[in-house]
Structure 1
Amino acid sequence: MIVQATKNKTRLAFIIVIAMIVTTALISLSTGSSSINITRLVPTLMGNGTFQDEFVFYSLRLPRIIITFLCGVALATSGAILQGITKNDLADPGIVGINSGAGVAVTLFFLFIPANAETFAYLLPLAAFGGAMLTALTIYAFSYNKEQGLMPTQFILTGVGFSLALSGLMIVLISSSDRQQVEFIATWLAGGVWGTDWPFILALLPWLVILLPIVLYFAKHLNILRLGSPVATGTGVHVKRTRIVLLTMATALAASAVSVSGGIAFIGLMAPHLARAIVGNKHQRMLPFAMLIGGMLLLIADTIGRNIVPPAGIPAGIIAACIGAPYFLYLLSRK
């Protein structure tokens, strides 16, 4: 009886989240300086739209919606992993410095490494992953104790320190750059979704297709890790190795996302919390919901940002921060 009620609740929540994603996507398509009348969506999808409708739909709106949703999925999954391996509900790739590490690598790549337009979109996630992974491993090393293992509070505090330092380094790097380069890095720092063309989708998609199934496979390991290292060791889990593998996947997901979405924080913080409130702590159920909620939250933030101050709009990262920062302070006060 209780199991069936839980299944019904989960099914209803899934339907509601999907409906909200579809609704947000339709609003995003039909609003903004370049938009499609909602009554023209179906004819355009069927190939009977005007040239302007098809251009707006296939070249402007649809790729932006897809890339925003995928980045939200990646950031939410990364946040859920970090919260699981650190046993700290305040963990988020933007807060603990992983996004900033990716940002420094993106800045160096953009300023100093020549790349043609055809390969730029595909090399950018690799550069971001290199910087993010180096940062994540350094933070892990500073937060690891041979006797106690990974210390969650020190991991968060060290990450915050690295985040501030690396953000300052990015500003130093662009201080002597030309105007166009400064504008690009400034957009990245603000969390403006800039990689909105189809090549960026093709560059990001393989990371998610490969990593998300592996993360779901490790869901049971995340359940065990949250019980503590002694319990995990007693069940046969190699704690240190499992944490490194999961940290690598969290870093790769966050880096691939922020390489095209900019420095967006708090999505990875909020989405897992909302998912737990809906379906509980079991990662087999929580992770898929966190992915959907993360995509939805970033899509909502981008839609609001594009329309609140037309035509330039406000970067999605700022909208997400306006929502996520008070929530972070609320969690901090509770912890």
Structure 2
Amino acid sequence: MLHAFSTFQLGGPQARFVELANALGPMFRHTVVAMDNRFDAGERLHPSVNWAPMTLKVIKGGALANRASFRQVLRSLQPDLLMSYNWGAIEWAAANLPQVCHQVHVEDGFGPEEAARQLPRRVWMRRALLGWARVPVVVISRQLERIALQEWRLPEHRVHFIANGVNVPARMRPQRELVAGAAIHVGTVAGLRSEKNIARLIKAFARLRSVQPARLTIVGGGLLQAELQQLAQSLGVGDDVEFTGYLSNPGEKLKDFDLFALSSDTEQQPIALLEAMAMGMPVVATAVGDVPAILADVSPDNVCPPDDAAFAQLLLQVAQANSKWSAWSSRGHALVSSTYAKPAMLAQWQAVWAGQLAGVRATSLSHA
């Protein structure tokens, strides 16, 4: 298999790939390419995974600038299956037209430029390179499914929804008893990119910190870290905000939070949110992607529009409603156990990798 990413630094698509590759082991052989030649997520792959990074000479500045060189890679490798991930790797769909090998395209979500609306040029390119080329497309949220069908106008039989899945502990972690005067530990797990809007979370935390003891942990690295640290200092909460940077196992920090916060401008079905709920943690989030639907029967009032003032008010309300945390935690754990547990996801993705989607032949595993 050839997997084409915009980057192989740790993020949602990369984390899912690592989970799948580790679970399925030597059944598949993987070559990974990244448009930025960054392969940090590879350190999380188990030694039993048969994989290799492949560096590329990438020309920047044009959606089809690398088509010829990428097509040569496809002809040279002749993979059983090409997996391309999101808009950042759409050039691989162009390189595979006319078809060199069987392909599945995966859509996880959008960057800040498409947080509010679809860009017409990208809509047309997706429609042509995926729809007209008859490429099966996997989407990881119901919102993406609607967009793929209604805006990109992809055929219904070629769009496949697979929910994200996470490990679910048999028992919820015990909730820390908050005695009078104890600091509430708010946390998040996110790449420090503009669409995650960690600045919104820091501003909301500063308001919370002004009325009660609290601390904030931000797990994840990125180019905005220095800017966000400066913001925390300017708001007077620098000593109460911890930036861990990139962690290969963010779950070790996640389990220490009292309250998980998601402040993004755009999401689909955020894995970190599901992991927090699986542990039995109350959450507060912006109403983006599938998040309102996920929380509809758990804590429907714990979502708000992606607006700074609304999020600050919501964080304050949820933090002060700790008598409800236990019920929210129990319902969240139950929902993830029944709907977003990893075994179901693994089975569906194994079928994708084995070439069992409509329009993709069954892949021979004799090369593994």
TM-score, L = length of structure 1: 0.25
More strand by share: 2
More helix by share: 1
Larger gyration radius, structure 1 or structure 2:
2
TM-score, L = length of structure 2: 0.24
Higher relative CO (Cα under 8 Å, sequence separation at least 6) belongs to 1
